[in-house]
Amino acid sequence: MEGHIIFSILFYLFLAQTAFSKPIDVSSEESSEEVEAVLKKLQTNGTESEKLILSRKGNYLLIPQKFTYNAYNATKHMLQDEALKINKNSEILEFKKNFILFLDKYDPAANLQETHKTMEFFRNITAHYFELSEEKMTPESKFIIDLLNKYQIKDVAIDLNELEAFVDKWRITGSASEKLVIFTLDSLITIPQQCAANATNATQYLLKDASLNGNLKPEIEEFKNKLNLYLENYDPTSSNIISIYFSMEVFHNIIESYYLLPPKQVTEDKKLIIDLLNKYNCNNYSITLIDHIVNFTEEFKRRFEDFKNDLKEPLLVWYDKFIKLTTFPEKMTAIDELINLAQENRK
């Protein structure tokens, strides 16, 4: 049935990152090879819905956030166009004003619902020009259309419309399994992106704190190096769920290493570090991610009950066993089984 294998892949990606323990080299896992094989097959032979969910650029998911980033990036380049900068025509100035407003609305950590609104705004400010008839087209309108084509704004708008229609269809009229796919997609992207964006902002402010200026003590330098490494590896535009979870795992491990110190090991410098982490709420962002994951897992279990009517007996048996597992290796082994069962469920 449509959506089952995608759901399984999404669920696999989620579980592969929910354990805040030693980082996992996903690329070396046999289960990852199976997932990649399934993804490759779906990219060629999948339904239109499955192909739309899969990334055209080789990432795991084709998400609205990636589309809006493409629109954001194209808009930034367009607004730097020299011919646009020097044009003071009122219609051109209104055009620039709308696209500057779009840049202000853009939020890389937005969830699907918020991104939907941003997509709709972007579509509206572009559609007007492409729908103009020859009779109504002014020299300024033609100038604008040439700009939109030059920076491929029209192509981005078409992609946004395509995805928007797809998400709307599944969200409103989809089957229980299709709605579960949308719920999973929204949750998996929203949870790490929002937390990572908050953690990154807090880290940037923390590193600028006056107490760290000129402080070259070894423990302080080590702390700053860890945070800078986190910032270097964090990519707010990534549509790869795994990379985002890895970024947050790095952040979590940094924070946890100080909060779990025995009292006797808390030196004066480490106390300063802990005070700074508290000052900028870093621990709260780490805890928030864990809480969200727990909440998502509970909601997933609840929604799975609705999903059951679409599943065959082997998948139901698998789920009953899976919810009783406690260790990460056990879950990974179970996910290998799930992928095979999900493929069978589509036949």
User: Do residues 185 and 116 lie in contact, with contact meaning Cβ atoms separated by under 8 Å?
Assistant: no
- Lowest-pLDDT range of 19-23, 154-158, 278-282, 303-307: 19-23
- Lowest-pLDDT range of 189-193, 200-204, 309-313, 314-318: 189-193
Percentage of the chain exceeding pLDDT 70: 55
The Cα 316–Cα 341 span in angstroms is 10
Q: Is residue 258 over pLDDT 50?
A: yes
Q: Is residue 224 over pLDDT 70?
A: yes
- What are the tens digits of pLDDT across the range 134-149? 888 899 999 999 999 8
Better pLDDT: 310 or 228: 228
- What are the tens digits of pLDDT across the range 266-315? 999 999 999 999 999 888 877 776 677 667 667 767 877 777 777 677 77
Phi-psi label, residue 22: left if phi above 0, alpha if psi -120 to 50, beta otherwise = beta
pLDDT (mean) for 188-208: 79
What is the reported pLDDT for 144?
Answer: 93
Better pLDDT: 300 or 43: 300
- What are the tens digits of pLDDT across the range 58-105? 333 444 566 777 888 889 999 999 999 999 999 999 999 999 999 998
What is the reported pLDDT for 209?
Answer: 94
- Lowest-pLDDT range of 23-27, 197-201, 226-230: 23-27
Burial of 303 (0-12, 13-18, 19+ CB in 10 A): middle
The Cα 182–Cα 167 span in angstroms is 7
pLDDT band, very low/low/confident/very high, at 337 (cuts 50, 70, 90): low
Report domain extents, the chain.
1-54+311-347, 65-173, 192-286
What is the reported pLDDT for 197?
Answer: 80
- Lowest-pLDDT range of 7-16, 155-164, 165-174, 236-245: 7-16
How does DSSP assign 256-273, residue by residue? HHHHT--GGG--HHHHHH
Percentage of the chain exceeding pLDDT 90: 24
